[in-house]
């Protein structure tokens, strides 16, 4: 984790733009809507807090999927005579009886084992942090959480530019191809970053054969051929590729809902697109129905999305109502 002032990348944290060319795409309409987690809490007398804090570090069965870095782990009860302490999330331990059993085994005296709502992350402003703290649970203001998210991202700008050049040039070559659209995507496997898989639109033969759908199939075909070659002894083995796990995907046009969801299922890391599709896109909050598919709280997987907003890459225009 690098500090902001030590980051070699130029990041406009207010506008969420990296190196003046990559615009972070996120669900700006719901950024400050709290995503609530259910957490188990107990009340204890203050003198028992060291014992309980030791239990929280050593006595829980696994790492909690809910982070508590943005909140206070304990707070005073309304009468001020006791402390209310977060034990863990329901996602870690679902049954109240199991929480009670662990506390009893640790010899912890407590009362009022109950559920509370806790925002999974802090909001973007100090004022909202105080408001959420009063409404849900006391939070710790450490600045806009998205600043740290942006600061922690890594970018190989030379590779990004190279692949965007490749797909934009290929799209221009496909501009007049009958039946298909000049939409091109590139899939970059982190296990073989120098060998991107380029996929083109082929919906002239099948309306579902968008470039991203074809790219996912090509990744699977490429992995099958690689494994077969290893079994034959004609290729050196490496770690197997699972779906498109941690892939970077580049595409000339903002993906439609079908393709955006397919990238969710494929477990990619990042998608970078050039041309927004205001009517049919499924990533920008301004596009289509504002799905922001890549960051939907209703889905169990997410990926980063950036739009190229710099110069240098011109892609063919496509009818506004066309799904890409």
Domain boundaries, the chain: 36-120, 156-308
Residue 103: which of 39, 47, 44 has the closest Cα?
Answer: 44
pLDDT of residue 31: 84
- Euclidean distance between CA atoms 88 and 94, whole angstroms: 10
Question: Architecture of 156-308 per CATH?
Answer: 3-Layer(aba) Sandwich (3.40)
With 70 as the cut, is the pLDDT of residue 84 above it?
yes
Pairing of strands 83-89, 74-76: antiparallel
Residue 41: which of 73, 81, 66 has the closest Cα?
Answer: 73
With 70 as the cut, is the pLDDT of residue 1 above it?
no
Share of the chain above pLDDT 70, in %: 99
With 90 as the cut, is the pLDDT of residue 3 above it?
no
> DSSP E strands: which ranges in the chain?
11-12, 17-18, 22-24, 36-44, 74-76, 83-89, 111-119, 184-188, 197-200, 248-253, 270-275, 304-308
pLDDT in tens, 214-227: 999 999 999 999 99
Residues 6+ apart with CB under 8 A from 233: none
Q: How many CB atoms lie within 10 A of CB 234?
A: 8
DSSP 245: T
pLDDT in tens, 30-49: 888 999 999 999 999 999 99
pLDDT in tens, 163-194: 999 999 999 998 877 778 999 999 999 999 99
With 90 as the cut, is the pLDDT of residue 159 above it?
yes
Average predicted confidence (pLDDT) for the chain: 94
CATH code of 36-120, in short, is 3.30.70
Whether 36-120 shares its CATH topology with 156-308 is answered: no
pLDDT of residue 180: 87
pLDDT of residue 28: 85
Mean pLDDT across 147-158 = 94
Token pair listed for 316: 């063919």
Please check whether residue 278 is in contact with residue 287, taking contact to mean a CB–CB distance below 8 angstroms: yes
pLDDT of residue 162: 97
- Euclidean distance between CA atoms 62 and 98, whole angstroms: 13
With 70 as the cut, is the pLDDT of residue 2 above it?
no
The whole-model pTM stands at: 0.86
pLDDT in tens, 265-295: 999 999 999 999 999 999 999 999 999 999 9
Dihedral, 199, 200, 204, 209 alpha carbons, nearest 10: 40
Q: pLDDT-derived band of residue 76, with 50, 70 and 90 as boundaries? A: very high
pLDDT of residue 61: 85
Token pair listed for 266: 């494929």
Share of the chain above pLDDT 90, in %: 85
Q: How many CB atoms lie within 10 A of CB 197?
A: 21
């Amino acid at each position: 984790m690098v500090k902001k002032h030590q980051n070699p990348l130029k990041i406009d944290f207010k506008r969420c733009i990296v190196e003046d060319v990559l615009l972070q795409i996120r669900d700006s309409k719901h950024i400050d809507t709290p995503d609530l987690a259910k957490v188990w809490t107990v009340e204890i007398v203050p003198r028992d807090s060291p014992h309980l804090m030791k239990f929280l570090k050593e006595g829980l069965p696994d790492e909690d999927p809910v982070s508590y870095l943005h909140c206070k782990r304990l707070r005073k009860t309304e009468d001020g005579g006791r402390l209310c302490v977060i034990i863990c999330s329901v996602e870690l331990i679902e049954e109240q009886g199991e929480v009670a059993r662990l506390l009893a085994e640790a010899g912890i005296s407590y009362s009022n084992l109950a559920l509370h709502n806790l925002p999974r992350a802090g909001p973007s402003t100090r004022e909202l942090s105080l408001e959420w703290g009063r409404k849900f649970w006391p939070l710790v203001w450490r600045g806009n959480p998205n600043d740290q998210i942006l600061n922690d991202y890594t970018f190989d700008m030379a590779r990004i530019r190279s692949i965007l050049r490749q797909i934009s040039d290929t799209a221009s070559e496909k501009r007049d191809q009958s039946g298909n659209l000049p939409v091109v995507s590139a899939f970059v496997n982190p296990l073989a970053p120098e060998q991107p898989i380029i996929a083109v639109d082929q919906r002239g033969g099948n309306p579902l054969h968008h470039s991203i759908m074809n790219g996912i199939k090509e990744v699977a075909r490429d992995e099958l051929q690689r494994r077969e070659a290893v079994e034959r002894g004609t290729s050196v083995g490496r770690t197997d590729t699972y779906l498109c796990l941690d892939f970077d995907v580049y595409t000339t046009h903002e993906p439609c809902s079908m393709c955006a969801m397919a990238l969710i299922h494929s477990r990619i890391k990042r998608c970078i697109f050039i041309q927004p599709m205001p009517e049919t896109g499924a990533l920008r909050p301004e596009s289509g129905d504002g799905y922001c598919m890549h960051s939907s709280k209703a889905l169990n997987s997410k990926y980063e999305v950036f739009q190229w907003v710099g110069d240098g890459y011109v892609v063919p225009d496509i009818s506004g109502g066309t799904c890409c």
